[in-house]
Structure 1
């Protein structure tokens, strides 16, 4: 693990948090991710999680067998599932001796100068207190995440808000893939990979690689390195923070 302390935003997509079939949460996955983030915190890093998964959690409680198409039904699932998602995080991080805090944000919160300042001040205080903030879109009053980004853009906005060093987007694939299905290890020019990006989405996710690339471009422009890697493989966050090439890396351009 890197010796220099970093401020890290980790985005966990629905595809790596949901149980098989996309209904309910995988406590095994959440427990493993909590252990890995806990190790980063104990090593001196400040970590913020941007987490999807509330809809998947709500599906199980409402006895639904698939993700509803109607916006109101999706938001109802999110409203039911958000408390379950936070309960799972709180329980697993408690095993690591770490407290968590829930923040529900909308893009308007970040657009408003006053709310932007308040959100930043709150996050900064939590990080200095050793707490891991867990952020999700406020799905009951906002529609962007449920329709377009699976929190990808929100993770970039949060990374910029707190002046993070690194944004790690963990997803259900190994990274950006070329036309032969091989992972592109390094992207220095976004124009070079635009033709590789498809809008494919998994059964439990709402973003696809398009929104991840958009988030990466936004963060890199702000001076934040971005990594897209598989959230289903244990230990990758350690390797990324240690500076090893994992998944697809979007480095900050040298001035």
Structure 2
């Protein structure tokens, strides 16, 4: 809905297949605006992000109503973040990926930070300029494999892609879904929102695996499987009184 309101999806929906990430961003982060920050998205991001410094910053954000501090796809000359959340002491930029990769990367490691065309590098410049003296965070949200690959490429780069005053972290959709399932203490209306988001991300294929609970009801039906039985009567013969006829054998003496 938000993607359409913001013009990311055409009125007829004809370009929806090309805007899956924008639609996913609007559906997930738009819906979470209806839940207090500290009880919803704050818990999810703080628990799912890998950086301890970022965890600490998010945990310190003490706010309930936050729909007025998040902007979707804000325009900037350096690019377009999917979401920008501006708190009193912290600014969080969010870049979402679903099926596509980064829109641009640097062709060589010799490019200065301020001239980098790397998508996350450009977005870090946006956050650096807009953040002032706030804590500045850039979060990359994508499939776990893509998160790790992109993050490692940036860390292995010979030059600084991310602005020095911006903390880069990532949240995989798999971990995002897991943290959604851990939310508790919500009212019935908020639980409906979370249930819908869990169903959405599960349908997108972000379920990690089925748990290894062996106490589930059996899936084998007695009238639909083979029955193997073992006889309880077993006879073992250890007879040792066999007679030996000497003339029928050779005897070797040393």
- Is TM-score (shorter-chain normalized) higher than 0.5? no
Query: Greater RCO between the two (CA within 8 Å, min separation 6)?
Result: 1
TM value normalised by structure 2: 0.29
Higher helix share: 1
TM value normalised by structure 1: 0.29
Larger-Rg structure: 2
